[in-house]
């Protein structure tokens, strides 16, 4: 067994919605190895996004320990957590979350700006990433000049820009037709083959089927089955 990249032990997260307390994660423990392809499934509101956000350093658990690459994320400063997101994580969102007034290159450059990469290198790396996702001819296009599939490719290029070790994709095909969805999943799978740890949150059993591991969350409780 390869060395665990991501290690969660006893992670609990609750939300208060009105008077009700929602157990988004209830004592979840797991480890993910470098290079794994993990699918997280479960019904809406089951806590799968919370799990992904905690792994991605966007959210912190109420209790429990999250360790990524040997570093405990549950107690670090905002600056360290932000740097972790910047260097290790690439996020891909269902609704792409591209900046409408920025062209493809500028959108992809975003993590590089926060990573204090020089201006020239930013452009070069953003261009390379866009070429890698097959958008070498769409560098100066604004998001509204691109199709849905192309937009998600820009979003993936942005996730790749800082050469992260982990990509977290939250319903990446949710806003695409099945053919475009297939292409995106293929693209992500290729990245995984090149060594990037891939975590996909999905409803789609067809996508879950392709993952090496499938984690199912139900009312904050996690269960796992291997494909």
**With respect to another protein, which residue has the nearer C-beta, 161 or 214?**
161
CA-based nearest residue to 96, from 17, 36, 174: 174
Helix segments in 41-160, DSSP class H: 48-55, 78-88, 104-114, 119-132, 148-160
**Six-digit token string for 36:** 């794994």
Residues 6 or more apart whose CB falls under 8 angstroms from that of 190 comprise none
Q: Which of residues 83-112 bind another protein (CB under 8 A)?
A: 83, 85-87, 89, 91, 93, 97, 99, 101, 110-111
The answer to the question of residue 76 lying near another protein (CB under 8 A) is: no
Least separation in angstroms between residue 56's CB and another protein is: 7
CA-based nearest residue to 151, from 174, 122, 117, 125: 174
**With respect to another protein, which residue has the nearer C-beta, 149 or 164?**
164
Q: Residue 69: left (phi > 0), alpha (psi -120 to 50), or beta?
A: left
The answer to the question of residue 82 lying near another protein (CB under 8 A) is: yes
Other Cβ atoms closer than 10 A to 205: 11
Q: Which of residues 137-176 bind another protein (CB under 8 A)?
A: 158, 162
Window of 50-58, 125-133, 187-195, 203-211 that interacts with another protein by CB under 8 A: 50-58
Single residue of 114, 145, 163, 223 touching another protein by CB under 8 A:
114
Least separation in angstroms between residue 200's CB and another protein is: 16
Q: Which of residues 53-72 bind another protein (CB under 8 A)?
A: 53, 56, 58-59
Q: Residue 10: left (phi > 0), alpha (psi -120 to 50), or beta?
A: left
Q: Which residue has the tokens 């008077």?
A: 19
Helix (H) or strand (E) holding 71: strand 71-72
Least separation in angstroms between residue 155's CB and another protein is: 10
Contact string 1-40 vs another protein (x = CB under 8 A): ----------------------------------------
Q: Which residue has the tokens 């470098």?
A: 34
The answer to the question of residue 75 lying near another protein (CB under 8 A) is: no
Q: Which residues bind another protein (CB under 8 A)?
A: 49, 53, 56, 58-59, 78-79, 82-83, 85-87, 89, 91, 93, 97, 99, 101, 110-111, 113-116, 158, 162
């Amino acid at each position: 067994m390869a060395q665990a990249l991501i290690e969660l032990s006893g992670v609990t997260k609750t939300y208060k919605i009105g008077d009700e307390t929602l157990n988004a994660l209830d004592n979840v423990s797991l480890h993910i190895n470098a290079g794994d392809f993990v699918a997280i499934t479960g019904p809406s509101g089951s806590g799968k996004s919370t799990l992904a956000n905690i792994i991605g350093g966007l959210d912190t658990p109420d209790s429990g320990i999250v360790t990524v690459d040997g570093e405990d994320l549950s107690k670090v400063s905002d600056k360290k957590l932000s740097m972790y997101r910047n260097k290790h994580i690439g996020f891909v969102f269902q609704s792409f979350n591209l900046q409408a007034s920025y062209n493809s290159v500028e959108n992809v450059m975003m993590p590089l700006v926060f990573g204090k990469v020089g201006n020239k290198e930013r452009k070069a790396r953003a261009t390379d990433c866009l070429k890698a996702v097959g958008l070498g001819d769409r560098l100066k296009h604004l998001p509204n000049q691109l199709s849905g599939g192309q937009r998600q490719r820009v979003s993936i290029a942005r996730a790749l820009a800082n050469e992260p070790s982990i990509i977290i994709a939250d319903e990446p095909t949710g806003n695409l037709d099945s053919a475009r969805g297939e292409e995106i999943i293929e693209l992500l799978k290729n990245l995984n083959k090149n060594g990037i740890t891939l975590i996909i949150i999905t409803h789609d059993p067809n996508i879950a089927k392709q993952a090496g591991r499938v984690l199912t969350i139900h009312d904050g409780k996690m269960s796992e089955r291997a494909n």
